[in-house]
Amino acid sequence: MRLRDLPRRGLVAGGGHVREICGHWGAGGELHWMLQLVELRRPEGVLHLPPDAAHTLAGIGGPQVGVGPGAAVGLRKERVLHYAGAFLELRRPQLRAAELSRVLVLSSVPARATPSLVFSDLHGVPALPADVRAIVVRSGRVSAGGSTATAMEALVVPDEARDEGAGLGVVADDARVLMVVG
């Protein structure tokens, strides 16, 4: 899937938007985990986060952002940060570039699921962890199950493929990726 083709909604405040990439919910609609892409366009933005969830943030593109109220912690490309709170406050210290700042937000309810975000370089036919849920491609190309993803595209692994233990048959061409594992 091309991330820019996913439906987007505005942030609670500030300039930018969020796109839901994938997730898993229980039979009653309760959240287990969810992966979202936040694209910050202006100096600041605020995203409402699912209650009772733990959050992991990963910088995947554009200028660094500050995370949190007060003295913000800097989040750069290819950095992962754990975050707790009902609102995610993001700030771009300086608008040096017109480029969007992109942050992936993985929210999970620890009692139901504990996925993590892992950056990796993939080449050839890599051995992936059995519990990979999604692969977001930052650069290069990744193919699996007849689908191919390039920069700013994602491959979402269906639950059936993971549950059946079926090999994903991943082939990578000098790819830098961020995987949702667990």
Instruction: Give the lowest-confidence range in 12-26, 60-74, 86-100, 134-148.
Output: 86-100
DSSP states of 15-29: EEEEEEEEEEE-TTS
Q: Is 146 in contact with 181 (CB distance < 8 Å)?
A: no
Band the pLDDT of 35: cuts 50, 70, 90: very high
More confident residue, 160 or 81: 81
pLDDT value, residue 96: 57
Band the pLDDT of 171: cuts 50, 70, 90: very high
CA distance 65 to 72: 9
Question: Is CATH 2.60.120.10 correct for 116-181?
Answer: yes
Delimit the domains of the chain by residue range: 3-108, 116-181
61 burial level (CB within 10 Å; 0-12, 13-18, 19+): middle
Res. 164: pLDDT tops 50: no
> What number does CATH give the domain 3-108?
2.60.120.10
Q: Where are any strands of DSSP class E within 77-170? A: 80-83, 87-91, 101-108, 116-124, 132-144, 147-149, 153-156
**CATH topology identical between 3-108 and 116-181:** yes
